[in-house]
Structure 1
Amino acid sequence: MRTVYVNGDYLPETEARVSIFDRGFLMADGVYEVTSVLGGKLIDFEGHAKRLQRSLGELDMPSPVDPGELLEIHRELVTRNDLEDGMIYLQITRGAPEDRDFAFPDPATTPATIVLFTQSKPGLADSPAAKKGIKVISIEDIRWGRRDIKTVQLLYPSMGKMMAKKAGADDAWMVEDGMVTEGTSNNAYIVKGNRIITRALSNDILHGITRAAVLRFAREAQMEVEERSFSIDEAKQADEAFITSASTFVMPVVEIDGVALGDGVPGRVSQRLREIYIDESRKAAV
């Protein structure tokens, strides 16, 4: 049985409780982060901690812990759950006032809710999907305008994943005004020659922690990076494509809307970037 963290306490998962008045439950008024664990160590923790603070700040939501305490909680959960490979999910909400109300509660009287739990994923870095690549479909992006804030409003991304599953694909890329924004839970890229193309940072997409690291490693490896929008039609004509996220690292995309990319197998650039990212991340893990 897993040990989880709820508002300062480490508890068996069966004993964990959150109020029915919690605004994360009633209003999706909360933010989250997912940090991968490889070999019992945290991957890109500092980046996730910084983005968490940014998300909280954008929503004028106080943090119940400081970065040092947050790292200690993550490490304690790794130890208590004997986690070798997997993920730690963190969620902070605006708390549980005495009743439901659209107005924000006073943070002086309604403390934030903080929950963390582990997910064991043995062999996370050796995913079979990375060897064969994934298939994606395109769907309309109808989310709210502040996708740069990592909120728990994940209904449409969940619907997108189900649309993909129904179509016999693995995931979906969302399209707005004719251009790809991002995947349902990941950033999207295409490759033309030695040039990696991905949408520039803005309020339209999540500022991926894995994205930042992968683009840095790509530039260090003398690969050309172009941050601009691209269409689904351009993507279908690319040599290869891939996605990045904390849980998938670098995952090759081999088919878009039924159109195979290149030879229909993971391409050289995406495979090499996956190797570099995992190797370098292991070295820097805490």
Structure 2
Amino acid sequence: MIEDINRDVFVRIQTDLLVVGDSIMTDRHHASNGNYEDDDPQNQIGGIIPAFPLSGWLRHGMEEVVHKYDGTACHPGEASANFMKSDVYERDLDDGYHEKGACTDNPKEDDGCVVFDLFGGFGGVPGKVMRRPIKFNPVRSSVDYTRGQAEGHYRRLNRNIVSRNREDNREPLRNAEVDAVANLDGCWHLSFRETKPEFIGLLAESIDFLDLHKTDFMHQLGGARNFGAGIVDCHLINPLYEERELKRVFDRGKGNTNKMDEKDDQWAEEYRPAFVEALEERIGEGP
């Protein structure tokens, strides 16, 4: 069954507001005409959301799924790292993690646990899933969903910390600028260097977990979480879809074809259960 799955899969991403600190890279330096004022609500600025916050968000969801199936996940940090909090590593190990790389004697020959197998990063071993950045554009017709792009509207926001004394009349004490993308709607492109049933099963389960827990502080994406940013509606787009069917998902004037409905039934009744079963078996083998 795994041979029917393409190495490239897509995750539908929708959020009202996304704030990822200084990680948003805009295309303002390309501007020769048009409206590229970053504080104008009608600007035409596009850009890139790097894969770093997206990868951490996805990995955290995957780790929670591994815990759900009574497994331990590879810690994202090395035991010898200089962490900002004392005993943090030991506390994580008591909370469903094992030391990074402890699941394999030889990282270049053994796959280790499923999280290590996917993300790598120890002993010079690359992970088997490549997380791409998301390119966004405010003009929907310029968005190529087959390349993992999204419609999104960039704005630089100003936040003032003001005096609380009545005689100061709310005089600003400090100004902070925030890069934000609003009304983000598109998809995230993931590429597997090697496809395994348990990889697809873990991806499907983790995306469902993140969607279910999207308002949990720990599972929002990016910053400004107390202000409603990073609440992401997400789902795995059917990996059985062909490119033209993927485009149709984002065509608001069209619905599913009969063939797409058939593939949805196949995915739900045959493929996904088999891949999740493979995931359970892999986790059951231990780290």
Work out whether the TM-score is over 0.5.
no
- Please state which structure has a larger fraction of its residues in strand: 1
- TM-score, normalisation: structure 2: 0.26
- TM-score, normalisation: structure 1: 0.26
Q: Indicate the structure whose relative CO is greater, using CA pairs within 8 Å and at least 6 residues apart.
A: 2
